[in-house]
Amino acid sequence: MRLTTLSVVSAVAFSLLATTAAQATNIRVAGNFAGDHTSSIAMETFKAKVEELSDGAMTVQLFPNMQLGGAQENVDQVRTGAVQMTWIGIAFLSRLVPELEAVSLPFVFGNREQAFRVIDGEVGERLDTAMRERGLTSLGYMELGARHVTNSVRPIESADDLQGLRIRLQPNETHLATFRALGANPVAMDISEVYSALQQRVLDGQENPYSINTTRNFYEVQRYLSDTSHFFDFIVTVANANWFDGLPEEQRSIVVEAMDATNVRQRELAVAADEAALGELQELGMVFTPLSDEARAELQSLAAPVVDQLRARLGDELIDLVLQGAAES
């Protein structure tokens, strides 16, 4: 009887140890943003919060700056479960989740307040559902920011100045269609290849928020910068849905709470970084040419057919939600 009791106690103890080991979760999170980008800095908040809230039962390993490959590779790694999460510009998910292109409409968002009002509302909920249907759990949105054209050929003062320029864009069909409509020659390319392509003059230019131009050192291989603000862009953090669903409820709640705090922190950092980056780029030698109201209106008019093209692909309902949300005061 005593041996039987000891056996039962041992079995229970082993079971408890196995359960504890299973719940000791390590989260691998890949990113392609440079280590000093606001999103990479903010992800340290995620790591700290998860480990604090779980009392060490959950650990986080962050791999920024393309340590585990480029943007598209990070997406593939999350989908296969090789890593659990990634934070990434939404364009790199748009071929898998074309609904994301609805918030990539040209010249729709005049400021970040408009953009986040849309993404934090019903539009964002619909996009989250669309990602979920493709095996990804969305954990919220950070700011990538307003995108602006740089090039090594000439200042951009009107639509004529974009004609024929080979401009790198993200792999987003709406982005590419917009620059075709503006008369440029857009080239989809992973961020990991852009610097060398600019350096070797395979490309004339690229478009990115001011802060990316500093963290990626594009000022070294680009001369001219204009405040085109043609798109406002977002970063989304996504998790492998099967992995996320398999977490105990308490751990899922910890991940969500930590990511909510991270998104708030990054948005705060992004405002200051964006303001500082333009001045820094000018100090580093870039020639800044602000667009006139007339030039911006001309670009917007040329890009207008892109909205109708996207309606044909995604339907009216989602596009109208974006446009209505952006128009609200």
Domain ranges of the chain: 25-327
Mean pLDDT for the stretch of residues 246-269: 98
The per-residue pLDDT of the chain, averaged, comes to 93
Topology classification of domain 25-327? D-Maltodextrin-Binding Protein; domain 2 (3.40.190)
Strand order in the sheet with 287-289: 185-188, 166-169, 205-208, 148-151, 224-226, 287-289
Angle at 230 between CA 200 and CA 319, to 5 degrees: 130
Mean pLDDT for the stretch of residues 136-157: 98
Residue 19's pLDDT is 38
Mean pLDDT for the stretch of residues 63-81: 96
Neighbours of 208 (CB within 10 A): 25
Label residue 146 by pLDDT band (50, 70, 90).
very high
Q: Return d(Cα 258, Cα 43) in angstroms, integer.
A: 9
Q: Return d(Cα 103, Cα 125) in angstroms, integer.
A: 13
Residue 31's pLDDT is 98
Task: Kindly calculate the radius of gyration of the chain based on its CA atoms and give it in whole angstroms.
Answer: 22
Q: Return d(Cα 25, Cα 54) in angstroms, integer.
A: 10
Label residue 329 by pLDDT band (50, 70, 90).
low
Q: Whole-model pTM?
A: 0.90
Residue 48's pLDDT is 98
Residue 264's pLDDT is 98
Residue 328's pLDDT is 86
